[in-house]
Amino acid sequence: AQTVTQSQPEMSVQEAETVTLSCTYDTSESNYYLFWYKQPPSRQMILVIRQEAYKQQNATENRFSVNFQKAAKSFSLKISDSQLGDTAMYFCAFALSFQGAQKLVFGQGTRLTINP
Amino acid sequence: DTGVSQDPRHKITKRGQNVTFRCDPISEHNRLYWYRQTLGQGPEFLTYFQNEAQLEKSRLLSDRFSAERPKGSFSTLEIQHTEQGDSAMYLCASSLGTGADTEAFFGQGTRLTVV
pLDDT of residue B100: 65
pLDDT by 10s per residue, chain A, length 116: 889 999 999 999 999 999 999 999 999 888 889 999 999 988 899 999 999 998 889 999 999 999 999 999 999 999 999 999 999 999 999 988 766 667 889 999 999 999 99
Interface test mutation site (partner A, options B24, B92, B102, max chain A beta carbons within 10 A): B102
Please give the full DSSP string across A46-111, using - where no structure is assigned: EEEEEEETT--SPPEETTEEEEEETTTTEEEEEE-S--GGG-EEEEEEEEEGGG-S---EE---EE
Pick the residue with more confidence: B60 or A116?
A116
pLDDT tens-digit series, residues B64-111: 999 999 988 999 999 999 999 999 999 999 998 767 677 889 999 999
pLDDT confidence bin for B2, thresholds 50/70/90: confident
pLDDT at residue B45 tops 80: yes
Q: Does B97 touch chain A (CB under 8 A)?
A: no
Q: Which of A6, A102, A106, A110 to mutate to test the interface with B (most CBs of B within 10 A)?
A: A102
Classify residue A54 as exposed, middle or buried by CB count within 10 Å of its CB (0-12, 13-18, 19+).
exposed
Residue of chain A nearest B5, judged by CA positions: A44
